[in-house]
Amino acid sequence: MCNSFGPFVKSIRKQIFISLLVLGVIIYFFIIQQRSTQITFEEALDEILSDQPIKKLMIADDKNEIIEIMNSKLVNDLMKDSAHMLLKQVENISIEPLYNITLYTEEYNIYALQVNETTVRIGRDFYVVRGNNIFFESIKQLTSKEPAIE
């Protein structure tokens, strides 16, 4: 009687093993796909800037008040503080920008960013911020100061 269950048990073990293997492969590809759409703020900027140093920033808020930042230390600190902020790239979404930011490089190239509490648009790419939007908070803090920062 014990021998009649042997092939049946082996068959079930084989099915369980194959099912777990398939499930593992599906989970692996899901994780890879999720990670491939995540990027840091620094990496997203590097894609458009190609290591060009930023010379100045112009920030326009939702009331069209504009401040210009030419202080290279302030610009570098802003970018450095936001560098490790995690972003998830998404397809075109509607973004209600609270700040329109124009980056000017030393090579006279101009790049546009838009930012609000939860999203960032860098060039043509849209991102949802994972965690705290450090860049938005820094811009908000900068614009709450005096209109001209040099």
Q: Which CATH number is associated with domain 38-143?
A: 3.30.1490.410
Helix (H, G, I), strand (E, B) or coil at 84: coil
Is the model's pLDDT at 148 over the cut of 50?
no
Task: Output phi, psi for 107, to 5 deg.
Answer: -90, 10
DSSP 103: E
Q: Residue 111: its pLDDT value, please?
A: 93
| pLDDT per residue as tens digits for the range 90-105 | 887 777 878 999 999 9
Please tell me the pTM assigned to this model.
Answer: 0.69
Name the residue ranges covered by the structural domains of the chain.
Answer: 1-36, 38-143
Candidates 54, 150, 137; CA nearest to 99 is 137
Q: What is the pLDDT of residue 149?
A: 43
Residue 30 has pLDDT above 90, yes or no: no
Who contacts 2 (Cβ-Cβ below 8 Å, separation ≥6)? none
